Chains A and B, each alone.
Chain A
Amino acid sequence: MARQEQNSSFEAQIEANLKKVYEKTVQEPVPDRFAALLAQLKEQDAASSDPDAGDDGENSQ
């Protein structure tokens, strides 16, 4: 039916646009501050959870 074709064409466009909008942001370069934050959290963890691992210097930079 024409109505059905029209609806499925519309649905296909909706789906395509949902993907496009989402992917547009996914593909953007991630701001550096997030990697920095993760590094900082890791550092804090290494410092606080291993107080007696002072000679393990790799993570505590």
Chain B
Amino acid sequence: MKAPVGDDPASKSGDPRDEIIQHLGAMRAFAMSLTRDGSSADDLVQDTIVKAWSKIATFEPGTNMRAWLFTILRNTFYSGRRRAKREVEDVDGVMAGGLAEKPAHDGRLAMRDFEFAFAKLPDEQREALTLVGGSGFSYEEAAETCGVAVGTIKSRVNRGRKKLAELLHLSEDDSMDMTDKSTMAVIGSQSATGGFRA
């Protein structure tokens, strides 16, 4: 298995749990992509740390600790989410509201627009894209983390990309080249102020 983290100083010292601290940044990023909210993400990381600590016997030294931690994190997220379904739906509502305006005004995907669109994706597509596109996991590692087949991860990544294109109004119907977006934004804003006034 390819390890995204190169060196592994903690394994020499005996307790693999000493290595957890090196993965906190990545755990927060993965948690953030799942919860779409900073304080929920940190709560999720905290729960994951406690679980990982007590379940360390299930970690095989020498294997990918980040993937192991991510697995615990996502299991914690999904079991917790069943309990707090209403909260999540609220988050979805907020995100849906934010996406109403047309993005990509400066010819690049604006980060904020991208994040809104990304937050709208189904959980399984969001996590697949985060693992493969964000954290640089191989398809195999992502599949192991999510407990599904490699082909399933590949199709989630593909569907996620397509869905992002749709949400960002960049689907195949959109015949504009990305670099023409700034021009179109100008035209768009003119028609928004000038047209349809009557």
Contact = CB atoms under 8 A, between A and B. Distances in A.
A26 to B, nearest CB: 4
Given A10-B165, A21-B118, A26 B133 contact: no
A55 interface: no
B164 A26 contact: no
A34 B165 contact: no
A14 B178 CA distance: 12
Given A21-B115, A45-B53, 7 more contacts: A2-B177, A17-B109, A18-B133, A22-B130, A23-B134, A26-B26, A41-B53
Contact of B134 (A10, A21, A28): A21
Interface residues of A, number: 33
Interface of B: 17, 20-21, 24-26, 28-29, 32-33, 41-42, 45-46, 49-50, 53, 108-109, 111, 114-115, 118, 129-130, 133-135, 161, 164-165, 170, 172, 177-179
Contact of A9 (B114, B118, B178): B178
B133 A10 contact: no
Given A9-B178, A22-B134, A28 B28 contact: yes
A34 B46 contact: yes
Contact of B32 (A7, A13, A25): A25
Given A2-B177, A31-B42, A37-B46, A18 B25 contact: no
Contacts of A15: 133
Contacts, number: 87
A14 B133 contact: yes
Contact of A38 (B20, B129, B178, B179): B20
A7 B170 CA distance: 9
Contacts of B33: 21-22
A6 B67 CA distance: 34
Given A14-B133, A18-B134, A34 B49 contact: yes
Nearest to A39: B21
Interface string A20-46: 111111111011011101100110010
Contacts of A18: 118, 129-130, 133-134
Contact of B50 (A2, A11, A17, A37): A37
Contact of A37 (B49, B118, B135, B165): B49
B88 to A, nearest CB: 19
